[in-house]
Amino acid sequence: LPVVFALDRAGIVGDDGKTHQGFIDVSYLRCLPNMEVAEPKDEKELRDLLYTGVMHDGPFAVRYPRGTGPGAPTDLPMEQLPVGRGEVLRQGADITLAGFGATVTECLKAAAILEDDGIEATVVNARYAKPLDDELFLGLAETTGGIITAEENVRAGGFGEAVLALLAEHGLAARFLAALTMPDAIVDHGPQPTFRRIWNLDATGIAERSRQALRRAGA
């Protein structure tokens, strides 16, 4: 049925209490047949994805975090986005940083940090954990030094595991370098920047995990 599920407080919830943390919704939604699972990178894309969901002929879930976004305009006409298609925000041959939702902004900042070290990173705004943009991820696995995913969801059943499964099906599992996720635990609550730093989901953490992954890969 054409039902839109708008999932508020997705990911790190801030000071609302640890039972309010939104770390498992990607996992339990991805296993549902016909369900589309999306998360925007900013305020404008949130409006566009909600509009896309309303226009979509089937179940459609949009998750979005508590708090303010990066500051994208919200007074532009809404547009329908292609289902199952991500976008490349920055090009670089050494590594791909694939963000899902709130982590996209941190991936862009991490790419700038890595550039100071002479590492050129591609940054992807995945938009969809289901369906994945298969063509995009398979192409980047073959043309960059490998893929790191970042998401505010647990690893089991999340966006990163979806990317890994896709690559494995095509003999490219070795090109999956790391999945940056929340832990399989009841995590205490607190300021979002604090917990992004703790779990390596801020720019500094993503950049450091990228360096470690490249060293392990011998790049």
Q: What is the pLDDT of residues 127-181, one digit of tens each?
A: 999 999 999 999 999 999 999 999 999 999 999 999 999 999 999 999 999 999 9
Which one is predicted more confidently, 195 or 114?
Answer: 114
Q: Which residue has the tokens 């296993």?
A: 31
CA atoms lying within 13 Å on the CB side of residue 76: 11
Residue for token digits 């989901």?
Answer: 201
Question: If DSSP codes are grouped into helix, strand and coil, which group holds residue 77?
Answer: coil
What gap in Å lies between CA 180 and CA 168, rounded to an integer? Answer: 18
- 37's CB contacts (< 8 A; 6+ apart) are 26, 29, 30, 61, 63, 128, 129, 130
The pLDDT tens digits of the residues spanning 53-103 come to: 999 999 999 999 988 889 999 999 999 999 999 999 999 999 999 999 999
Average pLDDT over residues 36-50: 97
Please say if the pLDDT value at position 51 is more than 60.
yes
* Lowest pLDDT segment from 45-49, 86-90, 134-138, 195-199: 195-199
Chain centroid to Cα 93, Å, comes to 20
What pLDDT score does 217 carry?
A: 87
Give the model's pLDDT for residue 1. 94
pLDDT of residue 186: 85
Predicted local confidence at residue 93, as pLDDT: 97
132, 133, 138, 139: CA torsion to nearest 10: -160
Residue 14's pLDDT is 78
**What digits encode the pLDDT tens for the residues 112-137?**
999 999 999 999 999 999 999 999 99
Cβ proximity of 18 and 196 under 8 Å: no
Return the pLDDT at 219: 56
Residue 211 has pLDDT above 60, yes or no: yes
Query: Letter for the amino acid at 166?
Result: L
